[in-house]
Amino acid sequence: MGAIASGASGASGESTTLATPRRPALRPLLLDTHALLWWLLDSPELSMTARAAIAAPERRVLVSAATGWEIATKYRIGKLPEARDIVEKLPTYLRKQRFEVVSITLEHSMSAGALPGPHRDPFDRMLIAQAAALDAVVATVDPVFVDYGARVLW
């Protein structure tokens, strides 16, 4: 299994068991868009570490509303033609997987907008802000998340 990359904040506090007085609870896992798509499509591109973390019954798996927005947008403009079924049934798929939807709050949007640096992808910026607000680990292959201090699992 792979390791968890940690941002500037240091160790992630991950544990592979349920919380007990001696073991901390697992941090929630926020899925980047490609991680969600690769999970739903059972793609081999999803790392074994990410796959195991998503499948762990004790793990809260989160999907941002921004991810639904990104999938629908990319499908509409032709970048994700294979995602038609996912676009049409995403809420159903998320319920079946027991994934929790994270709404975009005013605080999330203000934090995303205030992030420094040149990275312009609004979906990534939102996930970075939400991960910080929720103390979540992000399942992503994208190195920009670590650049912003997010905890990353891949």
pLDDT tens sequence across 1-28: 333 333 433 334 443 444 445 555 789 9
Question: What does pTM read for this prediction?
Answer: 0.83
pLDDT of the residue at 129? 97
pLDDT of the residue at 37? 97
pLDDT of the residue at 21? 55
CB within 8 Å of 50: residues ≥ 6 apart? 35, 39, 139, 153, 154
pLDDT of the residue at 120? 85
Question: Residue 44 to residues 39, 105, 145, 149, 153: CA-CA distances in angstroms?
Answer: 9, 33, 22, 27, 16
The list of the chain residues with pLDDT below 70 reads 1-24
pLDDT of the residue at 25? 74
Backbone phi and psi for residue 111, each to the nearest 5 degrees, phi listed first:
-65, -45
